[in-house]
Amino acid sequence: MPLVAHSKLPTFGQLREQGHEVLSLDRAVHQDIRELHIGFLNMMPDAALRATERQFIRLVGSCNRIAQFFVYPFSLPDLQRSDETLGYIERYYSDFDALRGEGLDALIITGANVANPKLEEEAFWEPLIEVVEWASDNVASILCSCLATHALLKHVHGIDRQPLPQKRWGVYSHRVSEPGHPLLRDINTRFDVPHSRHNDISRAQLEAAGLVVLAESPEGGVHMAASPDQFRVIYMQGHPEYDANSLLKEYRRELYRYANRERDTAPPLPENYFSGDAVRLALDALEAAKHAREAGSTYDDTLEADVVGLLDNTWGDTAKAIVNNWLGLVYGVTNLDRKQQFMPGVDPDDPLSLKEKK
């Protein structure tokens, strides 16, 4: 069912160009279709902010419920940002205080980069917890990704994530642990998920807190778990939202960091990701980065253009199905008679100016 382009957020136009159904606000106003209003707290660093925004909004728009989906990206003021990104957020993102005043049906929270060994020491910790505590009482469900999962598990259950011996980085095969769970309805019993993280929360830690493990991997660890009431909070350690080339972009960033001596060791290849000719091209790029590092010369490559056509996305359909099930559960418990609260008025740059639907 369609997303609604209720603001000038560029992602709406990009998704429309890629063939996704995105309604104009005028057309949405004249359709008598149920609405769901989804908050999207985007804490990703500048380099990944817009891609993550597009990836999650695309997943929401893939839901097959008969509904119009209004997605409201917002961020936190305590995250370190460039002036350019701050300008983008100011122009296109919503304000949490306004969203809190008007209400949401569900909330998605992304990961973030951290600089401290303890999450509670991060500058964004208190603002994040403020959002979480409000959402716990005011939305039907919270869906967490990666760092957000670790933060909520620390705040709600006192679970401390554990450092991994080395970064868990690649695409891993997972098996469904609770096939009868409503979030896993009509899901393949085995599916892939990309991971990119330095820390882990184990099955034992989750089960000790009374949480339900839904999918895990011998190599990748637990990907998904849920609160005992089935879907009030969904925890994901992996990145099912990733594009086929997301890990490729991460690998290239690490090659540049290595060539520029910003990291001491050569980056490993993401596990189970490159295959065939893509492996050779990735290793050739690594050799070029090593040469640039040793020679003190500028490193550059054409790796993304060379490799992108050789990559496979083996997780996207399952990600869409799980988000579809999640939104179906939200759809089933939210108030069918709730008046619409989020229709923008005449100013298209102000997605939170209100205009009651007649």
Helices 147-157 and 125-138, packing angle to 10 deg: 70
Query: Which pair of structure tokens corresponds to residue 294?
Result: 């040793």
Identify which of 91, 89, 73 has the alpha carbon closest to the alpha carbon of residue 81.
89
Q: Could you give the C-alpha distances from 181 to 81, 185, 224, in angstroms and in order? A: 39, 7, 12
Cβ–Cβ < 8 Å for 231, 326: yes
Distance CA 6, CA 70 (A): 7
Q: Catalytic residue among 157, 195, 239, 250, which?
A: 239
Partners of 214 in the beta sheet?
A: none
Residue bearing tokens 């967490």: 144
Question: If you count them, how many residues does the chain have?
Answer: 358
Q: Catalytic residue among 53, 216, 241, 250, which?
A: 241
Cβ–Cβ < 8 Å for 25, 344: yes
146 carries an active-site annotation = yes
Partners of 195 in the beta sheet?
A: 170
Q: Three-state DSSP class for 123?
A: coil
Q: Catalytic residue among 146, 150, 181, 216, which?
A: 146
Other CB atoms within 10 A of residue 25 CB? 16
Give 124-128's long-range contacts (Cβ < 8 A, gap of 24+).
124/43, 124/76, 124/78, 124/79, 125/151, 126/78, 127/76, 127/77, 127/78, 128/41, 128/43, 128/76
Identify which of 109, 195, 233, 209 has the alpha carbon closest to the alpha carbon of residue 159.
209
**Which phi and psi (to 5°) does residue 144 adopt?**
-110, 145
Would you name the residues annotated as active-site residues?
146, 239, 241
